[in-house]
Amino acid sequence: MDTNIDKVLENIRNEENVYTTGKVIKVNEYNIEVSGLTDVSFYEEVDISGKASGYVFAIYPNRVIVSLTQINDNVMVGDLVYALNHEYKCLFSLDSVGKVVDIFGNDLIAGKKFNNLIELPIDGVDIPLMDRSSVNRGLLTGISGIDLIYPIGRGQRQLIIGDKKTGKTQICLDAIVNQKNQNVVCIYVAIGKTKKEVKELYYDLNKNGAATYTVIMASFNDELPTKAYLTPYVALTVAQELMLQKFDVLVIIDDLKKHADVYRQISLTSDKVPGRDAYPSDIFYTHARMLEKGCQHKDGGSVTILPIVETKGSDITDYISTNIISITDGQIVLSKKNFDKGEKPAIDYGLSVSRLGGAVQKKDMSQLGTKIRRELLTYLDVRDIYELSDPSELSDNIKEKITYGNMIIDGLKQYKFSPRSEDEMKKIFSFLNKE
Amino acid sequence: MDVGKIIAIFEISIEVVLDDDVNVKIGDILEVADNPNYQFEIIEVTGTSATCISLNSTRGLKKGSVVRKKADSLEMEYSDAILGRLFDSYGNVIDDKNITSIAKRPINNKTISLKDLNVDANFLWTGIKVIDFFAPMQKGFKMGLLGGAGVGKTVLIKELIHNLYMESKIKAVFVGVGERTREGKELYDEVVASNLLDNMVMVFGQMSKNPVMRSKSIETGILAAEYLRDEKKEDVLLFVDNIYRYIQAKSEIAMELKEMLIENGYPSNTMNTVSNVEERISSTEDGSITSFQAIYIPADDYNDDAVQNIVSYMDGQIVLDRKIAELGLYPAIDVFKSTSRLIDKDKIGERHFHLVEEVLRYLTRYQELEEIIAVLGIDELSDNDKNIFHRSRKLRYYFSQPLHVSEQFTNIPGEYVKIEDVLNDVENILNGTYDNVDEDKFLFIGKYNG
């Protein structure tokens, strides 16, 4: 903050720039109204007398609304506001790997700012249609139920959705840990998680050897909602930059329901008209714009995104969930019922979907996967019908289906942080090849 | 010509204070004088100012910038040069190749008058069992493919493109409205790989684009179809994925402009908005436009206002159901909600009509029987009910189908099924001919070959 002011003063001294200034005329939590600032531009960075900073959010004929992203001291009516003559940027350091960071270039574990920071726009360019190519390289998670049945490809957006305590975050952590030596950079974005959860996660990843290629980017609930709103965009800008340098990047966003709620809060306090469930009408675009950053670039790099959404009462058909399902390239649905039965990872194999399917798998994995899925789903379908029947009177066909069904359910069980190789998976399900 | 200065800027709209004696009208396209990347469309004019929506992002736009008039409206190429090309919503070519313009037209063309409308036509079989059986098509029809998120709308649209466009010489227009950029590129790649690009025009306003861009792609796409119908006198296939996104984009614009919204955040003029595009998608003496339009159902709410508004223009509808998808049966269609105007004895004939009625009767009873079985078990059913139960399960499986475009999911080669085969198979399942065949034998097949 002080450096901003110094820069302004320095520039004024050198007469390099003439800054537009204005005065605060109204303050609410994180939006302030400013008079003056006669020729600012939209999304320009502004500084409020060294006390706070943010960006131009709306320009009216005779006033400007500034959205604050950092507040260090109480902003008062009458404070001087400087427009800094450049688009709002966030800060990132390449030393962030293995650290917990925020979008202002702070190392949160060490409690200080990085030295070698680069400036990044909060919203990178949209990769044009012709610069994208098809998603066809796999990104293995080490989880049988995913790699065989609902595979994830590099450049895919696959939603992880389920109730509280069904193992959503765990699946993503497993996926991160399995990227060891796979030349994938991972970014875990924490929105609305508690500080304790983030620190535990940091230790978990360290313990499992994932620290050398993982960045944790966090914003907490005791910080400004604007920061939480921007954090996933910044993470994806970082990911996109790396992708353009031909890296494969995996981004976890934990979670987007919280992000939607934060955005609703910001919208309602800025007088936007509420729509369905009081979310603003552009909530779909808010997430579509973000998740469309996930892609396979024609030059070789990719951004894979695993957004997480928390549901209530196992209902994946609420507004935000369906919005995000309609953006992503598939969803892994986690079921509370399976979780309680000990069938972990608690994937609901009926409701989960991959829109890419075998395109991102090896042929034999894909063939085995479709077989498992079909056997399992038809088993789940007949199980209820014959539940009350006398087992000795069932036809051989039905009996075999039930035996295989049970074996498949057992084979899909897997403990956390115990990834399987493709060969191990094939071995476990080799009984299906017998016919 | 300079028309004024920008005095207010928001996410997708701006306000311009007009210079004296400047005449502008709604629909005019303006641009910033020293940076033509910023362009706007006027949507409201007062004596001294104009409100505009921004065609691109307003980030970095400076208050006080001078704007000038660029054109009378958004325009798109209106000649044979459009064939085989890829456009964005504003009629710009985006496939990295040049275009030599011959003639241009505004994208917001007029609708068809009652006088010019033509409603006679032949059947159009799609080779997809559920569509041909429950909701048969004819040339010039509009088919809505409705479904919540992730139940298979796009796969169906792609199969229709495969079966109808790739197998025929009919010219086609594909419009991507607010859908995934990845899917757009993959479709483009597939059409190029099959050497079929020459008869197709593609227009994209995908979900990563601002609402103004998303709301315009349908108009641009329809103009391309109108060119083929009116100037080339051709029958045209129009594929739209997904028309709901058009209303959604309009809602976002209305919210930004602080209009009063109705329930669920839609603008109050949704009815006009829908009819302005749907009434253009019609057939005349010159040629027909047959359209398949995917319709997203937000929050699985089938009764959603926007959805029902669009559906009222459709001649037929296929409704996809999450519960069927959950069973792994694709296409996951809800047979009770899927139908078309042709389901009528006088149109499809006595036999087809009767079979549809009978199938629906069986499947209705099947639902009741499922509840009974959950409590009493299957052994308690009467012989008649047992027959209905098992035959219904076979029907349910039989209406799944290996599609050409979903081989990557099923590992089964896709099949085109003739309507006569569907009718024979269904008849045989219903009359008990196949009572001794395992139900699994009907899962993911084309026609039943024993």
> Hey, are the CB atoms on A281 and B261 less than 8 Å from each other?
yes
Testing the interface with A: which of B13, B409, B445 to mutate, by most A Cβ within 10 A?
A: B409
Q: β-pairing, A80-87 with A64-71?
A: unpaired
pLDDT for residue B113: 86
- Among residues A276, A355, A374, A420, the one annotated as catalytic is A355
Structure tokens at B123: 């059947």
**DSSP for A226-293, written as a single string:** HHHHHHHHHHHHHHHHHHHTT-EEEEEEE-HHHHHHHHHHHHHHTTPPB-GGG-BTTHHHHHHHHHTT
d(CA A306, CA A155): 10
Residue carrying structure tokens 């190029």: B192
**Best CA proximity match to B204, nearest among B83, B97, B53, B94:** B94
A19 touches chain B (CB under 8 A): no
A59 touches chain B (CB under 8 A): yes
d(CA A151, CA A178): 14
Would you give the DSSP letter of residue B161? I
Give the distance from residue A175's alpha carbon to the nearest chain B alpha carbon, in angstroms: 22
Residues of A with Cβ-Cβ distance to B254 under 8 angstroms: 281
User: Which residues in chain A (191-250) have CB-CB distances under 8 A to chain B?
Assistant: none
A420 touches chain B (CB under 8 A): no
Convert the pLDDT of each residue in A298-331 to its tens digit. Answer: 999 999 999 999 999 999 999 999 999 999 999 9
Supply the ipTM of this predicted assembly: 0.90
Q: Which of B207, B211, B378 sits opposite A292 (nearest CB)?
A: B207
Given a cut of 70, the residues of chain B with pLDDT beneath it are none
B34 touches chain A (CB under 8 A): no
Residue carrying structure tokens 């998808």: B325
Residues of B with Cβ-Cβ distance to A384 under 8 angstroms: 373-374
In which band, very low, low, confident or very high, does the pLDDT at A270 lie, cut at 50, 70 and 90?
confident
Residues of B with Cβ-Cβ distance to A432 under 8 angstroms: none
Phi, psi dihedrals of residue A261, rounded to the nearest 5°: -65, -40
> Hey, are the CB atoms on B9 and A327 less than 8 Å from each other?
no
- pTM for the full predicted model: 0.93
In which band, very low, low, confident or very high, does the pLDDT at A29 lie, cut at 50, 70 and 90?
confident
Phi, psi dihedrals of residue B381, rounded to the nearest 5°: -75, 150
Structure tokens at A435: 């016919």
Residue pair A48/A79 in contact by the 8 Å Cβ criterion: yes
Cα B321 to Cα A5, B333, B394, distances in angstroms: 59, 6, 18
- Burial of B305 per CB tally in 10 Å (0-12, 13-18, 19+): middle
User: What's the full length of chain B, in residues?
Assistant: 450
Q: In order of start, what are the domains of chain B with their CATH numbers? A: 2-73 (2.40.10.170), 76-341 (3.40.50.300), 348-442 (1.10.1140.10)
Residues contacting A20, CB < 8 A, separation 6+? A36, A37, A38, A39, A40, A82, A83
Would you give the DSSP letter of residue B62? B
**Best CA proximity match to B221, nearest among B75, B107, B370:** B107
Testing the interface with A: which of B151, B181, B392, B444 to mutate, by most A Cβ within 10 A?
A: B181
How large is the angle between the packed helices A283-291 and A225-244, nearest 10 degrees? 30
> Hey, are the CB atoms on B59 and A155 less than 8 Å from each other?
no
Residue carrying structure tokens 């569509």: B131
> Which residue on chain A is closest to B16 by alpha carbon?
A61
A375 touches chain B (CB under 8 A): no
Residue carrying structure tokens 């507040």: A71
> Hey, are the CB atoms on B411 and A387 less than 8 Å from each other?
no
Residue carrying structure tokens 């456009």: B87
User: Which residues in chain B (256-275) have CB-CB distances under 8 A to chain A?
Assistant: 256, 258-261, 264-266
B449 touches chain A (CB under 8 A): no
pLDDT for residue A13: 63
pLDDT for residue B410: 85
d(CA A36, CA A366): 63
> Which residue on chain B is closest to A379 by alpha carbon?
B327
> Hey, are the CB atoms on A275 and B261 less than 8 Å from each other?
yes
Cα A386 to Cα A395, A397, B325, B381, distances in angstroms: 11, 13, 22, 13
**Best CA proximity match to B403, nearest among B138, B154, B146:** B154
Convert the pLDDT of each residue in B80-100 to its tens digit. Answer: 999 999 999 999 999 988 888
User: Which residues in chain B (78-107) have CB-CB distances under 8 A to chain A?
Assistant: 86, 94-96
How far does Cα B321 stand from its chain's mean position? Answer: 17
pLDDT(A287) > 80: yes
Residue pair A201/A84 in contact by the 8 Å Cβ criterion: no
Residues of A with Cβ-Cβ distance to B16 under 8 angstroms: none
d(CA A23, CA A78): 5
> Hey, are the CB atoms on B63 and A319 less than 8 Å from each other?
no
Residues of B with Cβ-Cβ distance to A319 under 8 angstroms: 298-299
B258 is catalytic: no
d(CA A116, CA A114): 6
**Best CA proximity match to A175, nearest among A434, A430, A416:** A416
Residues of B with Cβ-Cβ distance to A40 under 8 angstroms: 62-63
Whether a cis peptide bond, with omega within 30° of 0, leads into A255 is yes
Residues of B with Cβ-Cβ distance to A132 under 8 angstroms: 181-182, 185
Residues of B with Cβ-Cβ distance to A324 under 8 angstroms: 149
In which band, very low, low, confident or very high, does the pLDDT at A435 lie, cut at 50, 70 and 90?
low
d(CA B201, CA B173): 5
Cross-strand bridge partners of residue A252: A188, A306
User: Which residues in chain A (341-360) have CB-CB distances under 8 A to chain B?
Assistant: 350-351, 353-359
B361 is catalytic: no
Residue pair B180/B245 in contact by the 8 Å Cβ criterion: no
Residues contacting A86, CB < 8 A, separation 6+? A44, A45
Convert the pLDDT of each residue in B327-367 to its tens digit. Answer: 889 999 999 999 999 999 999 999 999 999 999 999 999 99
Give the distance from residue A274's alpha carbon to the nearest chain B alpha carbon, in angstroms: 7
**Best CA proximity match to A218, nearest among A188, A173, A258:** A188
pLDDT for residue B450: 77
In which band, very low, low, confident or very high, does the pLDDT at A17 lie, cut at 50, 70 and 90?
low
Convert the pLDDT of each residue in A95-128 to its tens digit. Answer: 999 999 999 999 999 999 999 999 999 888 899 9
Mean pLDDT over each residue of chain A, to the nearest integer = 92
- Among residues B153, B158, B229, B396, the one annotated as catalytic is B153
B413 touches chain A (CB under 8 A): no
B206 touches chain A (CB under 8 A): yes
- Burial of B432 per CB tally in 10 Å (0-12, 13-18, 19+): exposed
Cα A137 to Cα A79, A307, A420, distances in angstroms: 54, 19, 18
> Hey, are the CB atoms on A42 and B61 less than 8 Å from each other?
yes
pLDDT(A1) > 80: no
pLDDT for residue A420: 95
Residue pair B121/B283 in contact by the 8 Å Cβ criterion: yes
* Long-range contacts of B116-122, Cβ-Cβ distance < 8 Å, separation of 24 or more: B116/B284, B116/B285, B117/B282, B117/B283, B117/B284, B118/B282, B118/B283, B118/B284, B118/B285, B118/B288, B119/B283, B121/B283, B121/B288
A323 touches chain B (CB under 8 A): yes
User: Which residues in chain A (284-303) have CB-CB distances under 8 A to chain B?
Assistant: 284-285, 288-289, 292, 295-296
In which band, very low, low, confident or very high, does the pLDDT at A342 lie, cut at 50, 70 and 90?
very high
B358 is catalytic: no
Cα B6 to Cα A57, B18, B27, B44, distances in angstroms: 16, 9, 17, 14
pLDDT for residue A222: 92
d(CA B127, CA B129): 6
d(CA A383, CA A405): 9
> Hey, are the CB atoms on B208 and A292 less than 8 Å from each other?
yes
Residue type, B336: F
pLDDT for residue A309: 97
pLDDT for residue A390: 80
A330 touches chain B (CB under 8 A): yes
The strand ranges marked E within B206-263 are 236-241
Average pLDDT in the A177-193 region? 95
